[in-house]
């Protein structure tokens, strides 16, 4: 028995991975494994609060899908930035200059036309 | 880059790599490890599935921005703080009320307490535990015994005692905290006597 007493005082615990946590939430773990996860949660406020929140989701089977979607979005945010910045520099700007030039020419042209019409 | 192939790299190492080359991809790999937890914490505070998902995305952005500015030592504890602050702010925006924000403690240390830990785990403290356990109130004593000593899950403890899962959890949490306080008190009394 005294060996188990140590668990009450311990802060040192092995991490619980997301997969195990999902199985726990979906009620797919054995009682023994459940105990292990719960013991860990008692030592980690972050994970404990997270599990409390995750239990509020109506469909626990959807959680994995949601996480995958969020991760995909995160990947886009962290990966594409460089490429997008380069595109801005080399592609978008020439168009901007061309459009501005056309606009200036149009204004000048209309000015001349109106001016001549008024004179005429 | 596939996240799985970086499983062996610690959070700290990933952060170091980011600080070395400022490539956000390292942060992507690091943050993916916490998506589920962030979703859970957001849901706990915001109580709405869609809002929780939005909140995770905003926390991601915030983390990416903040890490460009500061050097963070203990990533997990820091992330937890950022997530909670973000949720509190959203609640505040919704209610228009002022809630206190947790201090920005970038160097916040996780609960390691190595000295106290060593002290608390000697055979002598474990002897004291037995007496301390008897001093807990009956509910806490029963739940702590079933959970820690008989290694039962919350559900099993709940089934045996008739308490709800939430009650079981709170009895265990409070029981555990009280046990620590009782043991520390006893140790203190002993040193005073000497």
Q: Residue A70 is nearest to which of B33, B35, B49, comparing CB atoms?
A: B35
Structure confidence at residue A16 (pLDDT): 78
Nearest to A16 by CA among A5, A7, A25, A8: A25
Q: Which residues contact B51 (CB under 8 A, 6 or more apart)?
A: B42, B90
Structure confidence at residue B122 (pLDDT): 72
More confident site: B31 or A89: B31
Q: Do A75 and B28 touch (CB under 8 A)?
A: yes
The pTM of the full predicted model, rounded to 2 decimals, is: 0.72
**pLDDT, chain B, mean:** 86
d(C-alpha B23, C-alpha B184), whole Å: 47
Percent of chain B with pLDDT over 90: 63
Min Cα–Cα distance to chain A from B96, Å: 23
In chain B, residues 113-152 whose CB comes closer than 8 Å to chain A: 113, 117, 120-121, 123, 125-127, 129-130, 144, 147-149, 151-152
Residue B102 pLDDT exceeds 90: no
Lookup: tokens for A107:
């204004």
Q: Which residues contact B7 (CB under 8 A, 6 or more apart)?
A: none
At residue B75, the 3 state secondary structure works out as: helix
Q: Strand locations in chain B, DSSP E? A: none
CB atoms within 10 A of CB A36: 18
d(C-alpha B59, C-alpha B181), whole Å: 36
Residue B105 pLDDT exceeds 50: no
Structure confidence at residue B1 (pLDDT): 47
d(C-alpha B113, C-alpha B115), whole Å: 6
Print pLDDT tens along chain A (120 aa).
Answer: 456 666 666 655 557 788 899 999 999 999 999 999 999 999 899 999 999 999 999 999 999 999 999 999 999 988 855 555 555 565 567 788 899 999 999 999 999 999 999 887
At residue A80, the 3 state secondary structure works out as: coil
In chain B, residues 60-119 whose CB comes closer than 8 Å to chain A: 60-61, 64, 76-77, 79-80, 111-113, 117
Q: Which helix (H) or strand (E) holds A82?
A: helix A81-87
Give yes or no for a contact between A9 and B118, defined as CB atoms under 8 angstroms apart.
no
Structure confidence at residue B119 (pLDDT): 56
Per-residue pLDDT of B121-160, as tens digits, reads: 677 888 888 889 999 999 999 999 999 999 999 999 999 9
Kindly state the average pLDDT of the residues B166-188: 92
Lookup: tokens for A83:
């490429």
* DSSP output for A14-49: PPPPHHHHHHHHTT-S-HHHHHHHHHHHTT-HHHHH
Residue B42 pLDDT exceeds 90: yes
d(C-alpha A25, C-alpha A23), whole Å: 5
More confident site: B1 or A120: A120
Structure confidence at residue B26 (pLDDT): 93
d(C-alpha B15, C-alpha B75), whole Å: 8
Min Cα–Cα distance to chain B from A76, Å: 9
């Amino acid at each position: 028995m005294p060996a188990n007493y140590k668990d009450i005082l311990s802060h040192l615990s092995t991490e619980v991975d997301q997969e195990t946590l999902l199985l726990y939430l979906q009620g797919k773990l054995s009682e023994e494994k459940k105990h292990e996860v719960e013991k860990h949660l008692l030592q980690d406020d972050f994970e404990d609060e997270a599990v409390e929140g995750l239990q509020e989701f109506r469909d626990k089977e959807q959680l994995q899908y949601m996480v995958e979607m969020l991760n995909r979005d995160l990947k886009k945010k962290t990966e594409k930035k460089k490429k997008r910045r380069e595109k801005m520099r080399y592609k978008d700007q020439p168009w901007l200059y061309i459009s501005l030039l056309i606009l200036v020419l149009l204004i000048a042209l209309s000015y001349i036309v109106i001016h001549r019409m008024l004179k005429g | 880059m596939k996240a799985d192939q970086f499983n062996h790299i610690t959070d700290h190492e990933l952060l170091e790599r980011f600080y070395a080359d400022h490539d956000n991809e390292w942060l992507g790999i690091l943050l993916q490890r916490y998506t589920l937890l962030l979703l859970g914490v957001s849901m706990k505070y915001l109580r709405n599935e869609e809002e929780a998902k939005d909140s995770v995305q905003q926390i991601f952005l915030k983390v990416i921005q903040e890490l460009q500015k500061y050097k963070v030592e203990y990533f997990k504890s820091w992330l937890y703080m950022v997530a909670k602050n973000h949720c509190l702010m959203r609640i505040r925006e919704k209610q228009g009320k002022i809630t206190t924000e947790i201090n920005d403690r970038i160097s916040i240390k996780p609960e390691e307490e190595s000295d106290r830990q060593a002290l608390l785990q000697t055979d002598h403290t474990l002897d004291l535990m037995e007496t301390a356990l008897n001093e807990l109130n009956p509910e806490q004593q029963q739940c702590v015994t079933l959970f820690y000593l008989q290694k039962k899950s919350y559900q099993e403890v709940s089934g045996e005692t008739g308490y709800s899962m939430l009650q079981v959890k709170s009895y265990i949490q409070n029981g555990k905290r009280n046990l620590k306080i009782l043991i520390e008190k006893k140790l203190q009394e002993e040193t005073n006597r000497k």
